[in-house]
Amino acid sequence: MRWCQAVHRVRRVLLLLILGLVVALSGCERPSPEFEARIEPSRGHVPFEATITASDIGQSYTFLLPGETITQESPVLQVVVDQLDWSAMVKTEYAGTVRSDTVHPTATNAPPVIHNLTINGLRDRWSLKPGERTLLEFVISPDSEVVDVEVWGSAFTTRYSIFIAPYDGDYHAIYMNRWYDDACIVYPMYASIPGEELPYAPTGLEEGYPYLVGRTTNQFEFGGTTDPGEEVPAQTGYVKVTAEGPLGLRATRTFTIPIHAVNYQDTT
């Protein structure tokens, strides 16, 4: 009798263990695999070639690239990173759920470099004369262009008029019958009447700009005075130039340059 009871107890224990194991197994789910995407190399000088590799858990993969979408069976795709802010999203479906991840490679491109400023094509000149037609030519890194120029003097805050004749929006100039890229013309101390679509030119040499013979267009008579005979003081001039590279990176540099004094009462 005791032997039979022991057998029954063992059976009950085994049954309880089996039931517990079944319950435990039924409560466990397979862990969901993580989905991630990476790009190698993750840094480079744009444009550069790279490889996107996603976790291999789906049947197909959709790559949302800048300006293009590619769907394929492979989780690996060769790409060309051709923008500074380039990014791509990879999507796939697993167990009825859409998984996604995004890669953001880092561009190592440097902004353009503004090397030098040349006055009237002369490498040994470093001064400005009030009222003189003056060529400002900028030496910048290749594949870049000048996109903005400001010129002013320390005695008065008004910016001088900038001329890029023939006018088409790009910074270039014709000076002494020669074409200069990344350049402009100024007449130091001269700023035409504001509010016009284009500034008035003090000479007829600036193609495309309005020029009125016999009429003063300077808003402050060479220095903010109503007396045209008053002396223009010697002062510090500032030439601020902004250059832009092919990918949109910009650099700005300000040159300081002396502006000569002029006394319009002195006729000798």
3-state secondary structure of 239: strand
Question: Between 244 and 17, whose confidence is greater?
Answer: 244
Residue 198, CB-side half-sphere exposure with 13 Å CA sphere = 17
Q: Which amino acid appears at position 53 of this protein?
A: T
| pLDDT on residue 141 | 95
Q: Mean of the pLDDT values across residues 182-209?
A: 88
Dmax (CA) of the chain: 143
Using CA atoms, how far residue 63 sits from 75, 139, 165, 227, in Å, is 9, 42, 47, 70
Tell me the average pLDDT of the chain: 86
Question: Between 9 and 35, whose confidence is greater?
Answer: 35
Q: Are strands 114-119 and 134-140 parallel, antiparallel or unpaired?
A: antiparallel
φ, ψ (nearest 5 deg) of residue 150: -130, 140
| Percent of the chain whose predicted confidence (pLDDT) is above 90 | 66
| pLDDT on residue 203 | 86
Please state the length of the chain.
268
| pLDDT on residue 32 | 74
User: Which domains are delineated in the chain?
Assistant: 37-107 (2.60.40), 114-259 (2.60.40)
Q: Give residue for tokens 């400023």.
A: 117
CA distance 112 to 218: 35
Answer positive or negative: Cα dihedral of 245, 47, 60, 67. Answer: positive
Tally: H helices and E strands in the chain: 1, 17
Answer positive or negative: Cα dihedral of 223, 224, 229, 234. Answer: negative
- Residue by residue, DSSP assigns 94-143 as ETTEEEEEEE-PEE-PPPP-EEEEEETTBTT---B-TT--EEEEEEE-TT
Q: If you average pLDDT over each of 62-66, 193-197, 203-207, 227-231, which comes out highest?
A: 62-66
Q: Mean of the pLDDT values across residues 98-105?
A: 97
* Neighbouring-strand partners of residue 52: 39, 77
pLDDT band at 268 (very low <50, low <70, confident <90, very high): very low
| pLDDT on residue 249 | 95
pTM, full prediction:
0.75
Using CA atoms, how far residue 254 sits from 143, 186, 243, in Å, is 21, 16, 12
Answer positive or negative: Cα dihedral of 147, 153, 154, 158. Answer: negative
CA distance 119 to 133: 11
